[in-house]
Structure 1
């Protein structure tokens, strides 16, 4: 069957892709039986050889998606890979886009993936070489299959991948409100029936849902251990699943992994980064399914938004920890304070919660944003360093240690800490951040793990650290007002390379 007009148009607007090697045809609406008799729908894209051409074997890529099989998915995964010499089976997961059964997020991906591979073995065009590729929940479905990998599986590309859905919606004990609402709104408006997922994902207290077992067995990180399948992990510095992608890479055996991290969010990666992501994915899959195999162990990262790309020998790279200390009056210095004093007070009002600006989220404006208006609020502590005299490059995980001064009552609060880059115009651009719960009687020492980054602070720019009581609606607003005294001796530690 010829490709639909909408798919052909969508493929033409994907810029930066290599020239096609083959024309492409499609078998739409294939019905694939699962072990329980439910049938899932799939479209088969394949290189279209002329009748007089010599028969050729092509490897197969499997893309198991809950997002449908139409616009953009058909072009970016079906056509774009098939025209480079692959069979592509683009399958709608259970209960989505016409596939039978009930959609139960995170539940059926392993068994249904194995049933799909069993069906592939019976196809005359399947030659025993299988690769997996896809982003986000597609990557989750592939991790479920990789937990018990079939012998045909020879290569994987995990794009903006997640392996722990509970961890995505509940970070460091804090409910990721915006991400949970966006994800569950998509599920409830597009798919029937997943009430338990909606309740578990949007409940602000994950412990209250643990008893019903919804999240039990949904963390697939162990699948990466001892997995001898060459795997390319792709993420973005503003990807909501960045931490999970780095965990996956870290657990994969050395010699079977590579890493690519660009200046992307979870949703912009396949738009702004489509050409690079496709090129890297294609090279990986072609090398391991067709040959010659590409080098493994490569680590390529974007440094900031404009500095360019860097090849690293290890992740995280060797670094020198640089400690920056907040001082009274809003100063930030490499010099530790000489006396133990209060450097500021974090105040939080549930009737006017501190708003969120940018960052690693699924919100409408994620990623790097100007924080100037946020920093003008009186509930955000701001500490700014002097203009830098030379470039400072930070690659790796950033962490803050906040000393909380004494108080009359035990705390039940949150602390949000953010590192920013202030340019010559005074614009404050977020680099990375983190949040954590604060509980117990003060005084306390609170460690706030911030996300990893690769950023170059230029001469004339200044480092800035924000400390506040939240970031709403990115994270759920607290119900009670609180006051936290931040003491001197608090630090933000940067991995300088």
Structure 2
């Protein structure tokens, strides 16, 4: 452990160790462009042992500025290892800017002791790490947290009962509710489950094992998602059994005791620590971020929101200059008393379709809700129907499930895509409005209320908003899935929350509402029988009828009032 030596003028002085950051981290750092110039050379103290709540060793690396003076500390706790890209992206970059950075492997990962659990240990282990920090000679009592995805979850865990030293948080594309990551209205988010299974199992072992696992999953994805039953089929793709993965797949009810304590939504409901939130319009966790923002604002907590044109992964790649600048400005303002980098408004969003940024006072902004109705021959109109009646029908066959295409995923296939091939299928309905005479901005949450009847009584409904350009190219904007059970031929109402967007439909473009019976493998296919999709061995095609009283609801801020 580094020591302090007495100094007659300044008192005890910490003597930093001589180690440099890993060569691989320095090489990756040299490839980045558009980042602030470094302020300090960086030192590295690897392999520190921090006792967890039960005494298990949590392996920790310490990055620090090679300069005299007191610097605040950033705590970054990760289940994905401490190597690339975390070492350069968080350890090296933030230490260059004048922060001690404590990069720690969660228990059961990256050499740390104990057994990894998706949520049950993070609160206690975070508190134990802060207790350890208090004993370090370089810790000046000012603490912040930063990090993406599960590294956001551990921040919310610490914020359940925030230590007095915690002065700022930056949650990037962050998680607070594991249930919502794996399930939507009782439907299994299968692709997320498999991606998280591969990431949590292999990423902390290093880039090579993780890359091999990712490629193996891609090769075997079709076989896994088509298996009957689905239970256990992932083992060939992930290299063996993952016990917690079985658990999350087989507990589709959010009220099940299994999920007790998993959601950390309550952290934001009473938090007083200034918190910046960053997400992308096609991030698999974008709706969780909006929930975090809403709770923080209602709690009166100082907060900021940045939403870019990113997916879960591209926010930390192509979007990293913006994400890093936003994070650094927030941390300097609240840990270093330097607010010069803060923007004047609480919210900044990227307007897709226009490719510009817009500053807002709040999210969502005030808007006039507009309703669009499906009409015969695939038209979409603002004229409400005169009666409720069957409009059109499609057949969903789980043996040939409607494929997923783009959207908010964890994988590299996420984001906006040309939907032309998808919309040519017989099991995909489209309703398209007339060419717009002026630009239309849609800012806020999008939803659909559908009148549906089926012949089996069990179906999923996938609804998607698309932007159709003058050449007929249809690109997804936002979407969602709902699950319903119907009785006989009588229609039932199902509301599908289609996430939120900030999108400009240009003049000459058309608004399209896409409806289908699923999106595989993003969601596990509905067997059509009421059985669990994890255990079903019998799959029944479903005839789905859409009724005229269905409605697409758009939060229009211009052009449609």
Q: Normalised by the size of structure 1, how large is the TM-score?
A: 0.95
Q: 1:356 to 1:133 in 2, by over 3 A?
A: same
Query: Mind listing any 5+ residue stretches in structure 2 that lack a counterpart?
Result: 1-18, 206-239, 528-539
Q: Match for residue 52 of structure 1? A: none
Q: Are residue 235 (structure 1) and residue 235 (structure 2) matched? A: no
In structure 2, how many angstroms separate the alpha carbons of the residues matched to 1:210 and 1:399? 24
1:466 to 489, 493, 514: 514
Q: Give, in whole Å, the separation in 1 of the partners of 2:204 and 2:147.
A: 20
**2:80 corresponds to which of 21, 43, 67:** 67
Separation (CA, whole Å) in 1 of partners of 2:41 and 2:241: 39
| TM-score with structure 2 setting the length | 0.84
- Measured in 2, the distance between the counterparts of 1:152 and 1:335 equals 57
What is the CA–CA distance in structure 1 between the aligned matches of 2:86 and 2:355, rounded to whole Å?
31
SS in 1 for 2:54: coil
CA deviation profile, 1:123-168 (whole Å, cap 9, x unmatched): 1110000000000001101110110100000000000011110111
Contact 2:459 2:483 in 1 (8 A): yes
Structure 2 vs 1, CA of residues 281 and 305 (structure 1 numbering), >3 Å: closer, same or farther?
farther
Q: Is the 8 A contact 2:284 2:409 kept in 1?
A: yes
Deviations 1:27-81 (A, max 9, x none): 01111112322111111111112xxxxx310000000011111112111101110
Structure 1 counterpart of 2:414, from 366, 380, 404: 366
**8 Å contact kept, 1:257–1:297:** no
More displaced stretch, 193-202 vs 438-447: 193-202
Report the CA distance between 1:404 and its aligned residue. Answer: 2.0
**Equivalent position to 1:429, from 472, 475, 478:** 475
Distance change >3 Å, CA 305–CA 76, structure 1 → 2: farther
Q: Helix, strand or coil for the counterpart of 2:288?
A: helix
Measure the CA separation in 1 of the matches of 2:83 and 2:470.
Answer: 46
1:229-286, Cα deviation, whole Å (9 max, x unpaired): 0000111110100111110111013351111111111111100110000001000000
- Counterpart CA distance in 2 for 1:452 and 1:35 is 39
Report 1:413-428 matches (<5 A).
413-428=459-474
**1:375·1:381 contact (CA, 8 Å) conserved in 2?**
yes
1:174 and 1:429 map into 2 onto residues whose CA distance is 24
Tell me if the contact between 1:332 and 1:385 (Cα under 8 Å) persists in the aligned partners: yes
Task: Kindly indicate whether residue 537 of structure 2 is the aligned counterpart of residue 477 of structure 1.
Answer: no
Paired residues, what number?
487
1:188 is the counterpart of 2:188 = no
Say which SS state the counterpart of residue 214 (structure 1) adopts: helix
**How far apart, CA to CA, are the structure 2 residues paired with 1:296 and 1:248?**
21
Residue 443 of structure 1: CA displacement? 1.6
Structure 1: gaps spanning 5 or more residues: 50-54
SS of equivalent residue, structure 2 residue 430: strand
Partner of 1:40: 58
Distance 1:362 1:463 in 2: 26
Alpha-carbon deviations, 1:297-327, whole Å to 9, x = none?
6100001154210111121110011111110
In 1, distance between residues paired with 2:292 and 2:369? Answer: 24
Instruction: For 2:53 and 2:461, locate their aligned partners in 1 and report how far apart those are by CA, in whole Å.
Output: 48
For 1:255 and 1:164, locate their aligned partners in 2 and report how far apart those are by CA, in whole Å.
20
> 2:496 corresponds to which residue?
448
SS in 2 for 1:272: coil
Task: Report the Cα distance in structure 1 between the residues aligned to 2:160 and 2:301, rounded to whole angstroms.
Answer: 19
**Could you say what secondary structure the match of 2:112 adopts?**
coil
